[in-house]
Every structure is written in structure tokens, then in C-alpha cells.
Amino acid sequence: MRYEQILLAEATPHFETIAEIVAAVRETKALPPIDALSVLQSFAKRGDTAALAWEGDRLVGCVCLGACHHFISSPDWVPVKVRLVRDGIDLAKVGCTHFVYLHPDFWGQGMTLALTDQARRSNPMFTHTLLHGFATKEFEDWAAGLDGVIQIGTRQGQSVFVRGIAGAT
């Protein structure tokens, strides 16, 4: 497996393939379909970075990374933001890995973690990432077990975790 860190806007030629991966994952997990193309376009417009997973010349996964301030402006995020500040974490340096999609053919081999870790390092300005908004309880439990993860609160009944990026300044 080869991983590519990229500005998401530069991955536009691959959006159709990523949308197919999204559809396969959501169908396998019995999740409702989404308009992955529009979602990817909106993430690209706001400047998100990403990691792509390649098996040979086949694109098999994508995880995006965006700045948390894009989405933590609503009042229900206040307790999380307060906790981050109290823990000495600069909110401007907190990113969020999201849009985690790896083709089902590659599940159970540790590749989701490897791909997510590549995405976490795709923008050097971030020192920490948040993990939240899990599509399934299984994914939330997986995230809770990652090395270095700290639960910092809940939002809409789900855990919110923070995780430092090793080597970040």
C-alpha cells in the first residue's frame, strides 16, 4: 500500500473514484448514501488536505483533514473548546480527520489506521486532531482505542477525542 499526502483540490481528477469507494463503504455498512462528489468539492474549496491510499495503480481510500474552526463554531462545541484551551492546546492548530473511506476489500488489515495517520500529517500546521462524528459505534470504539487518544467530551451523544501528532511543532 502506498500513501499520498495531497491538497484535496489537486485530487479532483480522482473524485469519481473516491465517490465509488464511499458508495461501497456506505452500502457495506448499511449507511444511507451521500453525494460524495459535492462533499469532496466543498472540502476542496475550503482548503482541506488529504491522504490517498493506492494499491498499485488502484485508488482504494481517502481520508481528509480540515481545520476545526470550519465546523466548531456552534454553541454545542463550547465545552470541547474550553477543555482544549484548558489543556493548553492552540485551537488554531487543531485539525480534524474526516471523510474516512477505505474500500471494504482492504478492511481488517490496519490500513484504515495507516491512512488516517497519513492524513493527520498532510498539513504541518496542525499539532493535534479531533476525532468525532463517527458513522458507527464500532468506529467510535476503534478511535477510542488508538494510541494517545484522550476523550475530551461528548457532543450529540458521541465521544469527542483529541490526539497529538507526533513530531508536530
Model pTM greater than 0.75? yes
* pLDDT value of position 167: 65
Q: Hey, what CATH topology would domain 2-164 get? A: Aminopeptidase (3.40.630)
> What would the pLDDT profile of 114-135 be if each residue is shown by its tens digit?
998 999 999 999 999 998 888 7
The grid cell for 6 is 495531497
Whose CA is closest to 106, among 59, 40, 48?
59
Compute the mean pLDDT over every residue in the chain, rounded to the nearest whole number.
Answer: 91
Q: How many CB atoms lie within 10 A of CB 5?
A: 16
In this prediction, residues 134-143 reach a mean pLDDT of: 85
Whose CA is closest to 78, among 23, 16, 155, 24?
155
Residue 72 CA neighbour count, 13 Å, CB half: 23
CA distance 120 to 66: 9
